[in-house]
Amino acid sequence: MMYFSQGVIGSLKSKDCRNWAAIFCVFIALFISLPAQASSQIEAANRLINTMVRDVESYLLADSGDISKRTENITKLLDTHFDIAGIARFSAGPYWRAANEKERLTYTQSMRKALIGTIARNFDQLVGLRFTIIDSQAKGSRMVLVRGTFRDKAGKRPPVSVGWRVVTPHPGPAKVLDVEIENISMLITQKQENIAIIRKNGGRFSALIEAMRQRQQTQ
């Protein structure tokens, strides 16, 4: 059995305390500095979603069924809160790089018009729903996933889980890039459909634009 003098033990204890104090300080520094950035990201994303939800509720209260006014409000909503350029770029997949500037602009405008039309036609389905944020998580330095639930105030419809992927560039404003409904990404689904259309037409990006126009005319 090995014995230590009180002086040696005291020295070891003192050294251990200093080491633990140093380690503790490092952890404190990490947990203060890193989440501070994440916290500002999350605050920006939550603020965006809460503002957007209030805008939707305001538009629903004022909605009289006038499709022209409804379209005007939806256009304002999308242009204010959604990253239209980012959605267009991502949804085109690898073919975005092959498209020329005119094709990119035309596709972005067509996609924006299609989104506005789809939301305007289905806007009534949001009546009576209330969105509640459950949690928010930073995904890297420029993205936050805000998860929550849409619930029917009357209890006639089952709750729907929705996740908003929010781009949080600094110092630019936060914008919605994607919507996940019951863990299914609308942006990824659209990207898969777009790539299938382009590949079916020999890799022509213009085929995607033509398909979108035909769909809009049908609707």
The per-residue pLDDT for range 36-91, each reduced to its tens digit, is 456 889 999 999 999 999 999 999 999 998 999 999 999 999 999 999 999 999 99
What architecture does CATH give domain 7-218?
Answer: Roll (3.10)
Q: If DSSP codes are grouped into helix, strand and coil, which group holds residue 44?
A: helix
CA distance 5 to 11: 10
* Burial readout 196-213 (b: 16 or more C-beta within 10 A, e: otherwise): ebbeeeeebbebbbebbe
Residue 90's contacts (CB-CB under 8 Å, 6 or more residues apart) are 177, 178, 187, 191
Global pTM reads 0.79
Domain coordinates of the chain in residue numbers?
Answer: 7-218
* Three-class secondary structure of residue 172 per DSSP: coil
Burial degree of 136 (CB within 10 A; 0-12, 13-18, 19+): buried
Q: Residue 102: pLDDT above 80? A: yes
Cβ-contact 195, 93 below 8 angstroms = yes
Per-residue pLDDT band at 219 (split at 50, 70, 90) = low
